[in-house]
Structure 1
Amino acid sequence: MDAHPDTGSDTSSYLMVDDLRVHFPTPDGLVKATDGLSFRLGRGKTLGIVGESGSGKSVSSSAILGLHRGTSAKVSGRILLDGTDLLALSDEQMRQRRGKEVSMIFQDPLSAMHPYFTVGKQIAEAYRVHHDANKKAARARAIEMLDRVGIPQPDRRVDDYPHQFSGGMRQRAMIAMGLINNPGLLIADEPTTALDVTVQAQILDLLQDLQREFDSSVIIITHDLGVVAEMADDVLVMYAGRAVEYGSTKELLTHPEMPYTWGLLSSVPDVTADTGGRLVPIPGNPPSLLNPPQGCAFHPRCLHRDKVPGDLCRTALPELLPGKRFAGHLKRCHLPDPDVVYEREVLPEIAPGLVEEA
């Protein structure tokens, strides 16, 4: 079994995911959406999970909330939240924890919220499910949370419907719903998607403020490495359903050791560069999780596979092993001298602002 990313000892880790596998049977075969994922998250800390679409980010987070229950998905492994294995709980026991101990901010608040009920009613319902409160008390709590997340005139807007809110306001309402029960773990799935940059900054500042207030652990799923550089304590890079690199944010963004991470960093535009400069995209497309490549799943797209002796990249799956520079830094790659390759060939292509921000 691979080494496990660890943000501390078992006693200090609020969330521990061990060998998580989420497989979907289909008429064409088995889709291994998440295949042997392990990580740790301490109380009050933030973990950023990055990777292309289809890498398994949202699927693994949905498994933490038990959202695959009642579907054809085959889920195995362990998900320990404050010492309790969520996968071993009954549906009713999981329902009691969902929204109270672990909550989620979904990627698209317009589709996540019911169009036929007011925003306030939906937030109040999330509170009443876990508290012995009447409608008046729950409404007052909803107004309080809307005010806390920055909704103007919350006592009036509480009776508006989701379509009457702007995109940024809907995202704030989703944050209010996610935090109304003071959960110990909050999962934010692309919380700034489709928002303009000013609103994005406001949402991220709000999340950080509320995290400090509630001492919540946060998993933030994103494609935006700038968001990771600003918010995350640690970063987990996923590809083809597996972790391919893990480390503290500063270490991973300044000294990454996995070519896929290099590709993500090189794809970030440099606003200080010449306007005629070109982005350096990752060639090819993400692999099919129905028939993933043999060996390293990234090898068909990797520009550095010829630097690995023999045919290891095509024949042997690399284990997630400690990197060469920092303690706790893990990478899944056969490349013998990643530091040398990174500094000579990759670093000149990376936007300096991103590294400085980390």
Structure 2
Amino acid sequence: MEAFLTVDDLKVHFPTVDGVVKATDGLSFGLARGKTLGIVGESGSGKSVSSSAILGLHRGTNAVVSGEIRLDGNNLLALSDEEMRMRRGKEVAMIFQDPLSSLHPYFTIGNQIAEAYLVHHKVSKSAARTRVVEMLDRVGIPQADRRLNDYPHQFSGGMRQRAMIAMALINDPSLVIADEPTTALDVTVQAQILDLLQDLQRDFNTAIILITHDLGVVAEMADDVLVMYAGRAVEYGPCKEILTHPEMPYTWGLLSSAPDLTASTSGRLLPIPGTPPSLLNPPSGCPFHPRCTHRDKVPGDLCRTTLPELLPGHHREDHTKRCHLADPDTVFRTEILPNLAPELVEESS
């Protein structure tokens, strides 16, 4: 299937007085219309930075962005600021993680959402207001025709998040980047929001990038999964394949950290040891090797000295992984799989 969004060798570097922070370093992936890409990884792995680059949000900063980002054949990095501004919000939109810092405290919710609509449509303010009420009602804001006159501080955290989602979806964009869109929402509203995103996808053939820490959400929504660590892709492929045949120890760690709802309450989670590396001075070789409990299975000193290439795995050509392990599938089956929460694999089936 032809990719609607193609990211090729994307690098986002931030020069600082202490050196260059390589927030994203050589990232490549594709996304077709009507499909969902789940991007997972710990905080600081480069998920939000790479997505912000797609919207051109690093323009005007000291960030050095290189590579290619093609949306429907157009290289977004080659567009002028004005051309990018006209595409932002209409063709590609983002649902931000923190609505409190993304909404202006001095303007009403309705005015801020209407502005996003009026920028791209030559309609009256009353028509824009009608559209705002429709969107607020669709994302579950009660009494939307009245609450659009409220200010952000008058909304709860969950309602502010829903308002942000309404702002992102109001122009029916072709590509939606959802950065932890359900973080502040309870389980019931989370399900409603995910259903809303799926309805939009079905109605308008929208491509969705879903950035999340919730592997259950990924298993339910994503067609493909991109696992990021230290600014790079360490595993990439179809969702079911990644969850049932992961071949990168970091992915095993993420899966093992998910609670098993069927296990005994006395059971313990298996967290990834250590902390994410500094992107100012990442480890040599495989950046995950200081935390990897399987590096002793690799002969010699490869993990510490040589960065693995992103190569096809053992099962499918479209499943790639960045690891020196010679037989990761055997290790996963014998050491990791017995400890995983079964609902993750079941939801991906």
Q: TM-score band, normalised by the shorter chain?
A: over 0.9
Pairing of 1:93-172 with structure 2 (within 5 A):
93-172=83-162
Pairing of 1:1-358 with structure 2 (within 5 A):
8=1, 12-358=2-348
Shift of residue 195, structure 1, vs aligned partner: 2.4
TM-score (norm 1): 0.95
- Any conservation in 1 of the 2:158–2:184 contact (CA below 8 Å)? no
What amino acid sits opposite 2:172 in the alignment? N
Distance (Å, rounded) in 1 between the aligned partners of 2:101 and 2:61: 20
- Any conservation in 1 of the 2:257–2:272 contact (CA below 8 Å)? yes
Write the deviation string for residues 263-288 of structure 1: whole angstroms up to 9, x where unpaired: 00000011111111100000011000
- Any conservation in 1 of the 2:14–2:20 contact (CA below 8 Å)? yes
Distance (Å, rounded) in 1 between the aligned partners of 2:275 and 2:158: 31
SS state of the match for residue 357, structure 1? Answer: helix
Shift of residue 212, structure 1, vs aligned partner: 1.6
Write the deviation string for residues 30-55 of structure 1: whole angstroms up to 9, x where unpaired: 00000000000000100000000000
5+ residue gaps, structure 2, are none
What amino acid sits opposite 1:236 in the alignment? L
CA RMSD of aligned residues (A): 1.0
Write the deviation string for residues 284-340 of structure 1: whole angstroms up to 9, x where unpaired: 110000000110000000010111111111111000000011230000000000011
SS state of the match for residue 290, structure 2? Answer: helix
Distance (Å, rounded) in 2 between the aligned partners of 1:184 and 1:197: 27
Distance (Å, rounded) in 1 between the aligned partners of 2:173 and 2:227: 25
What amino acid sits opposite 1:144 in the alignment? E
SS state of the match for residue 289, structure 1? Answer: coil
Write the deviation string for residues 44-98 of structure 1: whole angstroms up to 9, x where unpaired: 1000000000000000000000000000000000000000000001111111110
Tell me how many residue pairs correspond in the alignment.
348
Structure 1 residues 193 and 279: CA distance shift in structure 2, 3 A: same
Write the deviation string for residues 231-258 of structure 1: whole angstroms up to 9, x where unpaired: 1110000000000001111110011000
What amino acid sits opposite 2:300 in the alignment? G
Distance (Å, rounded) in 2 between the aligned partners of 1:190 and 1:284: 24
Shift of residue 260, structure 1, vs aligned partner: 0.2
Moved more, 309-318 or 201-210: 201-210
SS state of the match for residue 329, structure 2? Answer: helix
Moved more, 254-263 or 109-118: 109-118
Distance (Å, rounded) in 1 between the aligned partners of 2:40 and 2:84: 27
Shift of residue 166, structure 1, vs aligned partner: 2.4
Distance (Å, rounded) in 1 between the aligned partners of 2:124 and 2:68: 37
Identity of aligned residues (%): 79
Shift of residue 102, structure 1, vs aligned partner: 0.5
Distance (Å, rounded) in 2 between the aligned partners of 1:230 and 1:163: 33
Shift of residue 141, structure 1, vs aligned partner: 1.5
SS state of the match for residue 299, structure 1? Answer: coil
Write the deviation string for residues 180-230 of structure 1: whole angstroms up to 9, x where unpaired: 111100000011113222222222122212222222100010111111011
Structure 1 residues 202 and 148: CA distance shift in structure 2, 3 A: closer
5+ residue gaps, structure 1, are 1-7
Write the deviation string for residues 155-180 of structure 1: whole angstroms up to 9, x where unpaired: 11121112222222222211111111
Moved more, 144-153 or 57-66: 144-153
Distance (Å, rounded) in 1 between the aligned partners of 2:190 and 2:145: 25
1:3 maps to: none
SS state of the match for residue 234, structure 2? Answer: strand
Distance (Å, rounded) in 2 between the aligned partners of 1:196 and 1:144: 22
